[in-house]
Structure 1
């Protein structure tokens, strides 16, 4: 296994990183190491970005419509200690690679304690680090795009990480340099999203900055998510969570909801790795989910036609399915490069 690349927004004290927000740092954690500290910090953020882009561009996905390589940034949810974050991003990378996705996956690690009582504090920390994600992470991406970088960058956010993501895009619109520049991201996916369904409506001011900068948005929902049931109850039931009930009726044309309930109901928890609450975190370690996400990020197949989905009662639902048998002979990457050059 290769090294794990991490963008950390945790405060550093001595050689250790704490459960408080701090300046963004870029890290490279060797294989087999399950915790990070000051020894793993890369002093030059530009060198870190260049290395990640080099790995992604050197492992181009033949099924992706991106003109070059792909980078997926994983933004975890609440109550994740450093070892949890490393374990999850490594498992996600293993799952995606097994399902044919090629590229580099990095983690954005924000301070979220592994004690349930700290949940509300974590939301405040999430708002604080969203600004750091903007000023250091997104700004660095924007500068790379100005320099001609064609690496496709995507985001996948879990639970309260969806809150961090929406807030980061919203704050980016308030930064003059970022607001005026033409930076963009490829795709964004939410899993077990702990944000209100209405926050993703077409009329929502909060989510519009995100939709402005991305190509496509996928919300994976599961009506059996017990953690989000509690989250909804704490809000007196007035703000149903997107990761449990799905998207609202009127949404941006870039958005699609994939209802995972029917599939999830038949999955044996003992059949796959379980990292955290089963109903809330089953996605990471599940090969069918990884297959669907892989084809989603690649962008070559229309979201309504991805073979791991079917339409049921007017909703897209997750189902067992495989990649198209002859997809490897479609020359998708060659077509993408030719089309990109022609359109430019």
Structure 2
């Protein structure tokens, strides 16, 4: 039976978890549990939890990935996510990626976002606080694995939805303020923002806020949707002065480490899923959509140039999401073998 692996930054209240920030705990939730996790799912030893996740990832090597071993994807959700929502969406993301040929382990970072639509002020306050937790616990654990005597070769990626993009960027900023992390050569592979609720300008090459993130990652892929109604509300709260990256895309002066994928033309003709259980269809449709999952899978694998991924086409110089299959003979390209050979050659 499969398990869901969760890093929980919610405060414990008896056997349950609340909507307030608390110490980070590591959970393993059996597939049969649907309503949400509780304290019975806590794994007492964080390093044992991390070793189990790494072992699952490394035991499921992706033949299409350039990672020398396995891949782990950490899902950082946005506002208005209950514990049941986080569990459901984490499992859905894992199923989508597996169905599209991705091998690896999906892990959730669950932080306490208020269960009200766009409770902006409270979510931002909590988001800043849990970014410290993401750094001092989760990223520190990752850093120790990459720089210790037995080096961890598992490739770790991040996907952040909505206000999760804020938590992610703030986490990298906080990491630079802590000597043991700032002076350690830890890294993250791919980072994906979906419906990112951060200002487009904050991702400018001249932005001090995004620099710590770009210094540690291989690439940022910003998936955006001009039809995102939730981000229109978010933008209106700021009187329209800070358009969101998840609605209009990246600024013109962005580092080469970042790439935009416009999902608007694809989304425009996409019928809403009658079984969709999210907050806003225009804002949260990505998880549960197989075309998006296919593009994300090839992005995480890193083997195909960002402008040649088949689920993208150029439209007026911009990359646009389209429904196309993987390359027909990709599984015969020997990508994993090439990655391992090149790693041995240059070490």
Q: CA deviation at 1:263?
A: 0.3
Partner Cα distance (1:73, 1:212) in 2? 19
Does the CA contact (< 8 Å) of 1:220 and 1:257 recur in 2?
Answer: yes
8 A Cα contact 2:162 2:195, kept in partner: yes
Q: 1:20 to 1:26 in 2, by over 3 A?
A: same
Computed over aligned residues only, the root mean square deviation of the Cα atoms, in angstroms, reads: 1.0
How far apart are the structure 1 equivalents of 2:279 and 2:332?
39
SS at match of 2:273: helix
Q: What is the deviation of 1:113?
A: 2.0
The counterpart of 1:177, out of the listed 168, 175, 180, is 180
Structure 2 segments unaligned to the other structure (5+ residues):
none
Q: Alignment partner of 2:79: what SS?
A: coil
- After superposition, residues 79-118 of structure 1 pair within 5 angstroms as 79-116=80-117, 118=119
Q: Contact (CA 8 Å) 2:79, 2:118: kept in 1 or not?
A: no
Is residue 326 of structure 1 aligned with residue 329 of structure 2?
A: yes
Superposed, which structure 2 residues align to 1:63-74 within 5 Å? 63-74=64-75
> After the TM superposition, which of the residue ranges 111-120 and 251-260 deviates more from structure 2?
111-120
Give the C-alpha shift of residue 342 in structure 1. 1.1
User: Mind listing any 5+ residue stretches in structure 1 that lack a counterpart?
Assistant: none
- 1:272 is displaced (CA, Å) by 6.9
Number of residues paired by the alignment? 344
CA contact (8 A) 1:9 1:129 kept: yes
TM-score when scaled to structure 1?
A: 0.98
Q: Following the alignment from structure 1 to structure 2, what is the Cα–Cα distance between the partners of residues 211 and 120?
A: 26
Instruction: Give, in angstroms, the shift of residue 15 of structure 1.
Output: 1.3
Equivalent residue runs for 1:1-344 within 5 Å: 2-34=2-34, 35-116=36-117, 118-147=119-148, 148-270=151-273, 273-344=276-347
**2:27/2:42 contact within 8 Å kept:** yes
TM-score norm. by structure 2 comes to: 0.98
Q: Give the CA deviation at 1:205.
A: 0.4
Distance in 1 between the 2:157 and 2:255 partners? 18
**Counterpart Cα distance in 1 of 2:123 and 2:51:** 31
Per-residue displacement from partner, 1:230-286 (whole Å, max 9, x unpaired)?
A: 100110110000000000001111100000000000111137745331000000000
Once the two structures are TM-superposed, the CA of residue 289 in structure 1 deviates from its matched residue by 0.1
- The C-alpha deviation readout for 1:69-90, integer Å capped at 9, x for no partner, is 0000000000111000000000
Query: Alignment partner of 1:54: what SS?
Result: helix
SS in structure 2 at match of 1:153? strand
d(CA) in 2 for partners of 1:44, 1:119: 34
Give the distance between the partners of 2:66 and 2:274, measured in 1 at CA: 33
Superposition deviation, residue 119 in structure 1: 3.0
SS in 2 for 1:283: coil
